[in-house]
Every structure is written in C-alpha cells, then in structure tokens.
Structure 1
C-alpha cells in the first residue's frame, strides 16, 4: 500500500508515523508546493503546483498513477476543499482520498458556517457576528461586551487574531485583518466577500482544551480523545496533558453524530465557569495529534487498517490519561552543500 500525504508543511512527525504504521509494507510519499524538511523524510516526494492552480489536481493525479498511490491524505485546511471536490476523479483510478465530504469541509473551514452549525445543533459556542454593523449594535445594546475577539472567517493557526478592548481597537484591528487577508492566501476564500470575511466574537476566558473526534471511514463514531492545553505557539498546541472528561467526550459524540465527518476531527474548546464552548473544528490531523499518539493512540495505523477492510482496533484509538507532552525545536540539515 502506497500513501501520499499532501501539503505536509512542517508535519514531519506525521510522515514518520505513517511510515512506522506501514512497517515496510508500502511507501509514504509526500507533496508540498515548496521544499520542507518533511519531504526529505518521506520515501519519496514531489513539489506540486500551488493548490489553487488549475494544474494542481491533474498534476497530483498523474503523480499518483505513476507511483501507484492507493491512499491520499491531506494535512492542510486549504487543500481540503479542492481534494474533497475531486474525490471521484481519483476514485476512478482506484485511489482513495481519505477525506470528509465537501459539505463537512465547508462547515469546518468557514468559521461562520461552523458557528451556524453549532447553534443549529445546540452546542455551546461563543456569540459570533460576521456583519460589523450588527456586531456594533450588539455592543451598544449590551448583547456583546468587550473584550472581543476578531479573526478571519477563513484561516488557520493564529493568523490575524486580535483582542480588542474598545471600539477604537476594534476599528484598527478590523482594518488590519482585512489588509492581512488581502495580502495572504486567505484572499482566495475571501474573494468577493471581503466585508463579511472577518468574525467578531465573544471572548471566553478560561482553560483551553482540545478534542479529537474519531469516526471510521463510514462516518460512525469511534472515540473522543481529550487534552487540556497548557501552552500554545503560533496557534498550535505546544504542550498538553491527556485527560478523561465526560463532558468533552459527550461533545465529541454529539459532533460526530451531527457532522458525519471521516477519520479525525480536530476541535478547539474553551472552558469558563464549568461550561465548555466549542470554538473551531478542523476536518484533518491537527497540531494536537502528536500528544494523542505519544499517549498510546495510532490513528495512522487505524486508517491504514480501515482502508484494508479491517475493523476498528480500539487500541489504535485509545489514549492513556494524565500523560504530559510537549513539542520541541529540533534543528535539521536540509542541504549540506554536497
């Protein structure tokens, strides 16, 4: 079995996890639009056109056919909508894209759709506005209080996230985020809706938690893996401890049943006064997954076994509790000049 991980970026650990899971019974290929260390750690790699290029999907398809790829898994939010809309293109050549439906991807990538989905399904989430005028009315009426959070409607990590303590800061940060959107890859999602591409959100003060909601490839609920986040860096979990929290597990099961995603759903939650708020969802491996892996889970192996037609092995989707883990910085040589 040969696997292609697309848009690997800096997620070298996932390349390693999949290679370990295959255990020599196939190869792990990696792709990215620019060279990164993660590519060098795969069995082989390829540099692709930009995701939004018309050549991207034809290029990937040709590469997959030439290298007898069986499975494609993307590691990047912006890649997901493109791949999800082309599942059948790859399926026609016997290539399985392990990805949720386009509807699920849209709900997760568009934070305004995320908010509407959570409200519709009675899952607690911070008050959120996409229309600045309506948000200002809510502030004047007392329905929204400072401090408030401003962030891009589309995006990932900590790109363009600011906390405003008053109207003046709100205006400054709103215009700053708009400028950042127009000068980054976020401009593609925001094209045509720039005046509705910034969210104004209630600020929840409390502990941060992360859950990974695991479904099988038929969207059936399997398990929820919970962590309390102890440190963050550039919008990613930098240190966390695994926990057993029934409230978070219940949230995970509800999300699974309502959303019907495939494989991993990475979810950010906040706790305030004993209440958990669902903040964001990512239908992919997220930055918190290494902590689950180090605590005993092996989702890469489970995905491979599902693709081989095997049933769920609970050992692959279960973690030990109270395991404290941290990411580290490891300098590496990309080219030694030879």
Structure 2
C-alpha cells in the first residue's frame, strides 16, 4: 500500500504564494515528506498551479462544495486545513458544520467560535462584542443611524466610513464629520448587504478617526487548547496599498498582549487571527478590525524570524519539539513588491493570413 504524504490544504490561496513556500519549508525543517495542496475556484489564479497539488473546487456558495470538500479530505487525508478567504471561512464555521466535521475526521482546522466568526464579518457586531469583553474599540454606528452620526460629529473632527460586511478595507473613506452622510452614500454604491438584497445605509459603518499609530497584530491561540494565548506578533504599518499593509516595521508586542489575551479567550481561538490596532501616546491599544485568518501583514513578522506555518505543522503532526517559532526581531523593515507568473494557457484559434 502506498503511504499518503503529510498534507496541508490551503483554501483560496489567491495571491499568497509565500504561504505555500513557507509551509514547504516547514515540512523540511521538521524532516517530513509533505505536500501543500491548493484548492481554488479559479484555475488561473496565481496560486492554483503553484501548490504541489491543485484541486479546482466549486465556489463555497455552490451546493456541490460540501461534497467536494469532504471527498477531498477522504482522498488526501490532510493533517491541516486553512483558508485565507473570509467568506469561505464563514461558510465553513457558521453557515455549515464543515469545520467541525473535518475536525471529527482528524483534520486540524484553526479558527474562532461560530459567534466570533459572525462578528468578524460584521463590523458593528464586532465593536459590540469587543466592548462586552472589556477591549477598547472605536465607537461604531451605522450610516443609517442619524442620532449616532450626530453624536460622533459632536466630539470628533474626522470619521472613517467603510462597508459593514466588507472584507479588507472595502468602501473605506476618511472624511470630515460634516461629510459623513455624503461618504456613506458613496460607500453604499458598492456595499455588500447581509441579506443579499439591495444594501441600505445600515450596511455601512462610521467610526471616529483614531489618534496614534496603526499596527497589525497577529494573535496566535494554542492549537490544542482553545482560548489559550500562544503568541502575539506585531508590526507598525508604514504604508498601505489597496487595503493591505505594503510596508511595515516589526515592534515589541507587549502593548498588545492584554487585549490579545481577552480576545483569544472570548473567541475560543485556535491558530492565527490578524487584528488591526491603534496605539496612542499613552501606550493604550484600541482594536478596529479582526480578520480570522492569515492576513496580508503576517509576512512582516515571518521575515523577522517568526514561523507560524512551522508551529501549525508541528502541532498538527505531534512534532512540536520546542521550536522557537514565535521569536522575531523588532526593528525589521520589510516592503512588498510586484511579481508575476504564468497561471495557465487557453486554446488559441489560428488566424488566417491575408494575402
């Protein structure tokens, strides 16, 4: 009988080819024969043909997705499954019980509780949940809350407007408080609605613009002890591009540990979540957003020495021998750059020559 190599499945890897490389290196560090399987809906995405094995899947909203995913798990017997798509994660953890079913089959599936997964895709709900556990967050109102908008305008000069159910920085605008309603109307033109129908002003949120410096923080929960904090990894954002951190410098995570521990415990966290926090002049951190997955800021701490893919694989395979995966060097500045690869080929129809 042919043995099945150790396997990690990365769902909807998209443009994050570096994650595939870093999981490959983690296998080598562990001295394990392993493979990285990439599942994608688009066979010409950057990552679809970059893994050791590619599987083209139905879209997560397709009724055929569930059977296709369970068939893949049965065939490949992965030790670990992660996704870097917010909406696929919502489908796995909230809309279905697929995450739990994979766990019952012996697959390690990092994540947060269903309640916190819902909160991560609803910025108003997230603000309310953070406040309830004692974590500082920006006061948040919907674009349709006239009284709330007036209250914000009474004490802040500038506000942040963005999609309530958006991913990344969709619908983002920073305007004067006097222009809040105008910015809400503009953001509404591209806003996704929770119900899937026509969006309303309540599908846009408004927050005061915070003072201080913006940081990206990776909160890592122990993979086999939900809610226990395993590590905090932090960087100060130096430049943004298309809603993602483009340049950053690694920093001491100490100012963010208290909030991180509260979030990890409340969310039943296992694995990594990407959190945006502001740090003010008095050293207080305020949470503004949570993405329950590897975010675009993780590479900055990885290049400075952290190695979460190694932690994931070591834990998934029972090979954790004290690797110093959470140590990184503060003061390392890294910047993203452009690259490109051939993603596929399409049939070409010969053209007739003109004589």
Taking structure 2 as the reference length, the TM-score comes to 0.86
* Corresponding position: 1:32 with 2:40: yes
| Greater CA drift, 317-326 or 66-75 | 66-75
What is the deviation of 1:109? Answer: 2.1
* Aligned position for 1:118: 130
SS at match of 1:27: strand
* Corresponding position: 1:20 with 2:25: yes
The counterpart of 1:267, out of the listed 270, 275, 285, is: 275
Q: Distance in 1 between matches of 2:236 and 2:186?
A: 31
Query: Does the 8 A contact of 1:216 with 1:306 survive in 2?
Result: no
Q: Distance in 2 between matches of 1:50 and 1:295?
A: 35
Query: Does the 8 A contact of 1:306 with 1:312 survive in 2?
Result: no
* Aligned position for 1:294: 303
The counterpart of 1:55, out of the listed 46, 61, 64, is: 64
* Corresponding position: 1:207 with 2:216: no
SS at match of 1:232: strand
* Corresponding position: 1:198 with 2:204: yes
Q: How does 1:108-257 map to 2 (within 5 A)?
A: 108-130=120-142, 131-139=144-152, 142=154, 144-167=155-178, 169-181=179-191, 186-187=192-193, 191=197, 194-217=200-223, 218-219=225-226, 220-257=228-265
* Corresponding position: 1:68 with 2:77: yes
SS at match of 2:74: helix
SS at match of 1:37: coil
Query: Does the 8 A contact of 2:135 with 2:287 survive in 1?
Result: yes
SS at match of 1:316: coil
The counterpart of 2:327, out of the listed 308, 312, 318, is: 318
Q: Unaligned stretches of 5+ in structure 2?
A: 1-5, 348-355
What is the deviation of 1:284? Answer: 0.9
Once the two structures are superposed, what CA deviation does each residue of 1:176-206 show, in whole Å capped at 9, x if it has no partner? 222202xxxx345665874422111111133
Q: Distance in 1 between matches of 2:256 and 2:321?
A: 22
Q: Distance in 2 between matches of 1:50 and 1:173?
A: 32
Larger Rg: 1 or 2?
A: 2
What is the deviation of 1:31? Answer: 1.2
* Aligned position for 1:9: 14
* Aligned position for 2:292: 283
Q: Distance in 1 between matches of 2:230 and 2:268?
A: 12
What is the deviation of 1:122? Answer: 2.0
Query: Does the 8 A contact of 2:141 with 2:149 survive in 1?
Result: no
What is the deviation of 1:83? Answer: 1.2
Superposed CA RMSD = 2.3
Q: Distance in 2 between matches of 1:250 and 1:89?
A: 33
Query: Does the 8 A contact of 2:79 with 2:316 survive in 1?
Result: no
What is the deviation of 1:337? Answer: 7.5
Q: Unaligned stretches of 5+ in structure 1?
A: none
